[in-house]
């Protein structure tokens, strides 16, 4: 019953996380586009009112005019009816961390720990996880505080820092766990930027405007800096969110490097669209991003398995599957923590095995399965299954 309820918690949290994540990212993308598409106000009276820039748009059968005031309107009160963009961020982070707890902390033995990487107890693994997420934010925040106005240098150092964490996590956790922790660390930075800097800074500016005091623009400058960082973190985080469906990425022997290249590609592609909103077309950026992805596809292409030599009998393969796989991939799993077979894949008989030969050979070959190598599948057993698949996967001896 516990595993069954955890599956429901996983499903509902994942659904909620996706919904609020779309809301947050959608708002973020929209405001970045809006900020970079502003034109000087056409009416002199608007400029006198303090309008910094405006954008006319058409959508949904109507016309909109968005205006930006850097320090509030001049000669008139600031509206009491202000819309704040914050709960999308907080809801995304809270649901994401809840999902982390359900999948990677409660299920640490299955999803977070890989004894081939490092022997950890669940409590130690969870402690390291929390420490990494906390330290990631603290280091990033310290760098931002000390490099205000040096955005190029800051971006380079932050990228290197994230890559160091990426490499370290791959030497602590399972590959899948390492990937998700890089994403969670970036997501924590993004939401903490909103909670600790963007919203408090905006509140201070609102208080100053309403009190009739001179407005300190520094909170706005810092808020803009953190908002820009958030938009560049977005594509890497989105990739990591879906990466657990594709073990060919994190299951690669250089999974940390694969992630580094894909993150860099995502940043370049996002940069192109940010600049495009300003009217700048730098096609080399998405072209380089796509080239990096194509290079990965070529370099990561699986090497052919030698199908020659002794013919592998199905009974040999079935023995390995029964011992290493069926504890989870059965109608009634016997492995603790599983209420149903992962992704509905059952491998209890020849017919079921025959349905999943290609995927089984891939996931076993990349080391993704068994999860965390809980059943201690050996390299020879992995080779046996790969050779059998390459020989045509005969289901008869």
**What is the pLDDT, as a whole number, of residue 156?**
93
Structure tokens at 318: 């079935």
The C-alpha atoms of residue 28 and residue 43 are separated, in whole angstroms, by 28
168 by Cβ neighbours in 10 Å (0-12 / 13-18 / 19+) ranks as middle
Beta bridge partners of residue 53, listed in sequence order: 68
Residues 172-198 as b or e (16 or more Cβ within 10 Å = b): bbbbbbbbbbbbbbbbbbbbbbbeebb
pTM, full prediction: 0.86
Other beta carbons within 10 Å of 270: 21
Q: Report, as ranges of residue numbers, the positions in the chain whose pLDDT lies below 50.
A: none
**What is the pLDDT, as a whole number, of residue 1?**
64
For the chain, which residues make up each domain, given as ranges?
2-22+84-299, 314-390
Residues 293-319 as b or e (16 or more Cβ within 10 Å = b): eeebeeeeeeeebeeeeeebebeebbe
């Amino acid at each position: 019953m516990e595993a069954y309820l955890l599956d429901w918690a996983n499903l509902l949290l994942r659904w909620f996380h996706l919904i609020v994540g779309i809301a947050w990212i959608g708002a973020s993308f929209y405001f970045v586009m809006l900020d970079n598409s502003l034109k000087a106000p056409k009416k002199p009276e608007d400029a006198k009112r303090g309008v910094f820039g405006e954008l006319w748009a058409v959508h949904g059968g109507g016309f909109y005019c968005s205006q930006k005031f850097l320090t509030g309107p001049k000669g008139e009160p600031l509206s009491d009816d202000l819309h704040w963009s914050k709960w999308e961020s907080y809801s995304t982070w809270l649901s994401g961390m809840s999902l982390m707890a359900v999948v990677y902390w409660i299920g640490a033995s299955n999803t977070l720990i890989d004894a081939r990487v490092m022997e950890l107890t669940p409590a130690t693994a969870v402690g390291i996880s929390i420490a990494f997420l906390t330290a990631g934010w603290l280091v990033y925040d310290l760098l931002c505080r000390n490099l205000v106005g040096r955005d190029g240098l800051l971006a380079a150092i932050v990228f290197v820092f994230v890559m160091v964490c990426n490499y370290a996590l791959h030497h602590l956790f399972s590959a899948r766990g390492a990937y998700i922790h890089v994403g969670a660390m970036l997501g924590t930075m993004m939401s903490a930027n909103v909670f600790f800097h963007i919203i408090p800074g905006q509140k201070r500016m609102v208080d100053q405007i309403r009190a009739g005091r001179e407005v300190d623009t520094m909170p706005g400058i810092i808020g803009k800096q953190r908002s820009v960082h958030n938009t560049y973190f977005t594509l890497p985080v989105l990739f990591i969110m879906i990466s657990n469906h594709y073990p060919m990425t994190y299951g690669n022997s250089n999974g940390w490097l694969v992630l580094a290249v894909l993150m860099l590609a995502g940043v370049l592609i996002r940069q192109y669209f940010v600049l495009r909103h300003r009217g700048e077309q730098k096609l080399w950026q998405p072209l380089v991003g796509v080239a990096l992805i194509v290079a990965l596809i070529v370099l990561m292409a699986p090497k052919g398995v030698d199908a020659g030599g002794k013919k592998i009998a199905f009974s040999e393969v079935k023995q390995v599957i029964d011992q290493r796989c069926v504890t989870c991939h059965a109608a009634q799993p016997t492995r603790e923590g599983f209420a149903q077979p992962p992704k509905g894949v059952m491998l209890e008989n020849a017919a079921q095995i025959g349905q999943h030969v290609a995927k089984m050979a891939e996931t076993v070959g990349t080391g993704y399965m068994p999860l965390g190598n809980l059943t201690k599948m050996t390299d020879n057993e992995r080779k046996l299954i790969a050779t059998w698949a390459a020989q045509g996967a005969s289901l008869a001896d």
